[in-house]
Amino acid sequence: MIIITKPNITDDELDHLRERIEAAGLHTHLSRGEHRTIIGCIGDETRLAELPLRSIPGVESVMPVLKPYKLASREFVVNRTIVRIGEEASIGGGQLTVIAGPCSVENRAMLHATAAGVRLAGATILRGGAFKPRSSPYSFQGLGREALQLLAEARAEHGLPVVTEVLDTRDVDLVAEHSDMLQVGARNMQNYALLAELGRVQRPVLLKRGLSATISELLMSAEYIMAHGNHNVVLCERGIRTFERATRNTLDVSAIPVLQRETHLPVIVDPSHAGGDAKLVAPLAFAAIAAGADGLIIEVHPNPEVALSDGDQSLDIPSFAALMQRIPAFAAAAGRTMSPRAVLRGVAVA
Ligand code: PEP
Ligand code: MN
């Protein structure tokens, strides 16, 4: 249930209103917009039945939230959420953010070469897998702790915040300590124990859509993290499994405007895992921006031919730089700006 307050509600009235709701055993979530304030009520709403909410001073209207996801829903929060990553990067709020880096951190040299290359090309967040969710137990599983150390070093040296995947509830604190954003991979989107654990930490979470997950299931997974206390969630469309075999997955372009309609959380797109082919990264990235994405996450490797994972879909550094030069025109057409830091590093302004 949400309560919309009168524009002239006083702080005392607001406090009193929240106290009444909390005394009934529910939690309140305050969302202040320019013109109105919304109080979201979380918990057993039947307990509010006895409360004459509409007669409490400052209340304008009371409305049910019909969606099963509440904290993630646009009804619940007035303004779109901007998620801050590290000291200077952010996702959401009208800018287009580009995250780039290798699928897996393979060694120090390749990570530094990639970090330097993507930074110069205008990426503002570095990605790199330490714990890899591979389909085969015989494939490279990532360097684990050593990769976390290398990522932390790369962050310090190149000034880029880092995002890396966490696979196991037992590693949440360790990964949070070494990174600026924690990624939940497609295969773990419905690992509710992991989502609950991520609700406990205050690091932003990049939540990737499951291979066969509906949009509503993706939002319910975001709700899990939020319900456990962490509201810094960014959603990622990374392609879903369909009957089509010409591409690794099928990029669900429609999910972008649908998510933007349903949630206040930022929505980014991973064209690398969607298409599974370096040649498809640029067209899918452009489509994502045109459909309203807040950002992109792109796999880049200094020499994709020898990559230990996802080489086929990884861009080399010159191809990534060339793509970055073309992005501002699409961003401008979709009403988004590039981050000033990206522009500073030579990304063209459309
Ligand atoms: C990745 O980002 O490297 C990855 C494994 O992605 P996904 O979980 O979307 O397959
Ligand atoms: Mn990958």
Tell me, what CATH number does 210's domain have?
3.20.20.70
From the CB of 291, is ligand 1 less than 6 Å away?
no
What is the Å distance from ligand 2's center to 101 Cα?
10
User: Is residue 317 located within the same domain as residue 228?
Assistant: yes
Q: Tens of pLDDT along 63-87?
A: 998 899 999 999 999 899 999 999 9
Q: How many domains are there within the chain?
A: 2
Q: What is the pLDDT of residue 349?
A: 63
What is the Å distance from ligand 1's center to 185 Cα?
5
Q: Tens of pLDDT along 225-275?
A: 999 999 999 999 999 999 999 999 999 999 999 999 999 999 999 999 999
Point out the domain boundary residue: 11, 36, 64. 64
User: Is residue 196 located within the same domain as residue 273?
Assistant: yes
- Rounded to an integer, what distance in angstroms lies between the CA atom of residue 13 and that of residue 81? 26
> What mean pLDDT is predicted for residues 136-146?
96
User: Is residue 199 located within the same domain as residue 311?
Assistant: yes
User: Is residue 197 located within the same domain as residue 271?
Assistant: yes
Q: What is the pLDDT of residue 350?
A: 57
User: Is residue 143 located within the same domain as residue 283?
Assistant: yes
Phi-psi region of 110 (alpha: psi -120 to 50; beta: other; left: phi over 0): alpha
From the CB of 238, is ligand 1 less than 6 Å away?
yes
Point out the domain boundary residue: 29, 64, 99. 64
Which of 104, 175, 183 to mutate to test ligand 1, by most ligand atoms within 8 A of the CB atom? 183
- pTM for the complete prediction? 0.95
Over the range 185-211, which residues count as b (16 or more CB within 10 Å of their CB) and which as e?
bbebbbbeebbbbbbebebbbbbbbbe
What is the Å distance from ligand 1's center to 21 Cα?
41
User: Is residue 132 located within the same domain as residue 32?
Assistant: no
What is the Å distance from ligand 1's center to 326 Cα?
25
Residue-range definition of the domain harbouring residue 43 = 2-64
